[in-house]
Structure 1
């Protein structure tokens, strides 16, 4: 009897000592921490944290997401994405493919026949098939372009929130947060052929996974961006060029300013991130201030990032460079009047890419770099670039004219490499 009593007492104590299951933290009202990059400057970035209960939405399909975005209105709002949302769907939720958007007699076969450079030449495409392509592209844009307005937080629930086929566009809006979301495959059904007088044109596509244009105070955190589903490397060659279906993963252009991109993953893509969109856009001077920290660039061919004009702080990022030097172009693009300040970043490649391949300059004049690791060894990317170019006009100086002050703790490149491998991307917010 005594033994039974002791056993029961021990069992009850065991139950009492088990801690209650903690509720999952609601990240939807999180705001950017102080000093966390350029987006913390001035008023900081709070997104939709001030939204009332009537403007907190949980959405599971495109129709619900469109209603919650409210045409890109400035009303404070929080939008939680649950599960997978496909932007290429009709109003009933049925999937749409490229044939469903085609109109005016457009067909890929007819388009290729009409503008074959061997018969069409180097003139810009015009005529019935180009008009049909434009009309078809407009039909797709009505479905996949999703405007994000000011004072908005867009957040994925759990570790499996996916938005596929969409182009999130923050146009002339301010105070926006995008977090914990896998944004993939902004697939353009109707790329346009752009010939040139040099004999080799290229295919131009319409959609970035996320596009900031004229946007200010934006925080993008723990987001995964890729072409998953339709990688461009599997597309055929047309007119001697890869038949591209995707543009950038995240482009920051047209005077966008005060942006922090943190703990995000950019994967398996050609042109990852463009900051500043033209050498002659002098109105970008004094803007395009961007911080990139604790991000992973995995198998990205180029633009990680490419910078014009902006003051960009790039620290504690992890690069897994493609192993084939023929497929890889560069990681850091130093372009017109850019001021790129790179600290403690780690680059790893299993193949033939060399440290001299990591930086490329077009009209750029300066690059600050320190604490860089390449395959585990310290390297000076500036010295390597200048030695490789041997006194050419692409020589760079170390003085970029500014020193970052808004940042989190800057770890060694080796420590950051390990942290980012474990923690970057959607579904990994602690």
Structure 2
């Protein structure tokens, strides 16, 4: 995938003596949620009843914060705190659990080895990869009863971990971090995951669906989350939002401009409450796409589904879920491909300026999602 630039404003580098100009631009973009640049969206139809106004057309995507993470007081991560560089697992662990606001930069690979590692992230943190090289290899993140966290421009995998346990389904599962790249639990709120890459192994070559669990999972009272411009690939189960049919709650998650490739299912599975899924590109999803369950109402809007089985559906719960479907494109798909809605949900935030025409989503997302694109 080629580099997809954005025209960023000049900044005063003397305010950040410990980092270089390129990193300062990334920090300002992620941690301070800098000014948004409109997308090519002036002529795109908006949802019925929307109060937002379309911005003038532009050729550059806006990478600013959009979605539920911008509500409830907003998400700024470690903005205002020190910028520190984590080069080892021990340094990352210490910085991440600190009580002070921090912008933690990661310029290379931090490995958990074959045993794997779990790092707990405390409130008011930004974890920021440098360029294309920030990589957490066998290191999962746990966010439990914390708030105001940004994870940006980092690569993740648990595929190097060989330490496993036998789970309730009698299958081997990575023991550390319950096999998740990122686990969100408790009453964690205001979290933004942006321009990251998550992967494990090709599901065809590695058939155990439980060996590696979720790429980003959220449960309990966690809420006000945005997952944007990320590249998820080569994995069985991507996002579990609500871990059981008894895990009631309104987690309020926005998924936008993500690239899902060679995934079996859960993009996402979503129980209870409301959510927003827009302008994502799905390619080779073999089981289910957006699976709404237990009365959830999801606004599923202007997504591009290609070679996907059951792009929008409700399965595997005693109570079905619902969708407010608008303007989705199905190319070479099979199974449930709804064009009508079973509920109605209008997100409370403005997003017209970043809502792309469905036909352009594939190109825009492939070029803009993942690391090294800021």
TM-score of the two chains, using structure 1 as the length reference: 0.67
Other-structure match for 2:325: 369
Shift of residue 83, structure 1, vs aligned partner: 1.2
Distance 1:182 1:264 in 2: 10
Relative to structure 1, the CA distance from residue 383 to residue 162 in structure 2 (aligned partners, 3 Å threshold; closer, same or farther) is: same
Other-structure match for 2:185: 213
Looking at secondary structure, tell me which structure has more helix per residue.
Answer: 1
Contact 2:128–2:151 at 8 Å: present in 1 too?
Answer: yes
* Within-5 A mapping of 1:360-399: 360-361=314-315, 362=317, 363-375=319-331, 381-382=337-338, 398-399=342-343
* Within-5 A mapping of 1:96-107: 97=114
Shift of residue 234, structure 1, vs aligned partner: 3.7
Distance 2:280 2:118 in 1: 29
What are the superposed Cα offsets for residues 79-107 of structure 1, whole Å, 9 maximum, x if unpaired? 1001111122xxxxxxxx3xxxxxxxxxx
Unaligned runs of at least 5 residues, structure 1:
1-21, 89-96, 98-139, 196-200, 323-327, 385-396
What are the superposed Cα offsets for residues 13-64 of structure 1, whole Å, 9 maximum, x if unpaired? xxxxxxxxx942512243336871001113110100020x3xx211222122
What are the superposed Cα offsets for residues 289-315 of structure 1, whole Å, 9 maximum, x if unpaired? 011110011111000000001311000
Contact 1:216–1:257 at 8 Å: present in 2 too?
Answer: yes
Relative to structure 1, the CA distance from residue 83 to residue 364 in structure 2 (aligned partners, 3 Å threshold; closer, same or farther) is: same
Q: Tell me if 1:348 matches 2:321.
A: no
Other-structure match for 1:406: 349
Contact 2:171–2:211 at 8 Å: present in 1 too?
Answer: no
Q: SS of the residue aligned with 1:158?
A: coil
Correspondent of 1:37 among 61, 67, 92? 67
Q: Tell me if 1:314 matches 2:277.
A: yes
Count of aligned pairs: 313
What are the superposed Cα offsets for residues 183-206 of structure 1, whole Å, 9 maximum, x if unpaired? 1126362131435xxxxx544442
What are the superposed Cα offsets for residues 255-309 of structure 1, whole Å, 9 maximum, x if unpaired? 1100011100110100000111111123x2xx30011110011111000000001
Shift of residue 207, structure 1, vs aligned partner: 2.0
Contact 1:294–1:316 at 8 Å: present in 2 too?
Answer: yes
Pairwise CA RMSD: 2.5
Correspondent of 1:194 among 168, 176, 187? 168
Q: Tell me if 1:28 matches 2:27.
A: yes
Q: SS of the residue aligned with 2:362?
A: helix
Unaligned runs of at least 5 residues, structure 2:
1-19, 35-63
Other-structure match for 1:107: none
Contact 1:87–1:166 at 8 Å: present in 2 too?
Answer: yes
Other-structure match for 1:62: 89
Distance 2:337 2:33 in 1: 31
Q: SS of the residue aligned with 1:321?
A: strand
Q: SS of the residue aligned with 1:194?
A: coil
Relative to structure 1, the CA distance from residue 193 to residue 211 in structure 2 (aligned partners, 3 Å threshold; closer, same or farther) is: closer
Distance 1:188 1:334 in 2: 33
Correspondent of 2:99 among 50, 68, 74? 74
Q: SS of the residue aligned with 2:196?
A: strand
Q: Tell me if 1:50 matches 2:80.
A: yes
Contact 1:369–1:381 at 8 Å: present in 2 too?
Answer: no
Greater RCO, CA 8 A, separation 6+: 2
Relative to structure 1, the CA distance from residue 368 to residue 203 in structure 2 (aligned partners, 3 Å threshold; closer, same or farther) is: farther
Distance 2:87 2:277 in 1: 35
Shift of residue 65, structure 1, vs aligned partner: 1.4
Relative to structure 1, the CA distance from residue 249 to residue 35 in structure 2 (aligned partners, 3 Å threshold; closer, same or farther) is: closer
Give the stretch that moved more between structures: 300-309 or 330-339: 330-339
Q: SS of the residue aligned with 1:313?
A: strand
Correspondent of 1:359 among 295, 306, 313? 313
Distance 1:272 1:406 in 2: 25
Correspondent of 1:280 among 227, 242, 246? 246
Contact 2:131–2:371 at 8 Å: present in 1 too?
Answer: no
Distance 2:65 2:237 in 1: 29
Contact 1:267–1:299 at 8 Å: present in 2 too?
Answer: yes
Greater Cα radius of gyration, structure 1 or 2: 1
Other-structure match for 1:151: 124
Contact 1:32–1:44 at 8 Å: present in 2 too?
Answer: no
Relative to structure 1, the CA distance from residue 243 to residue 360 in structure 2 (aligned partners, 3 Å threshold; closer, same or farther) is: closer
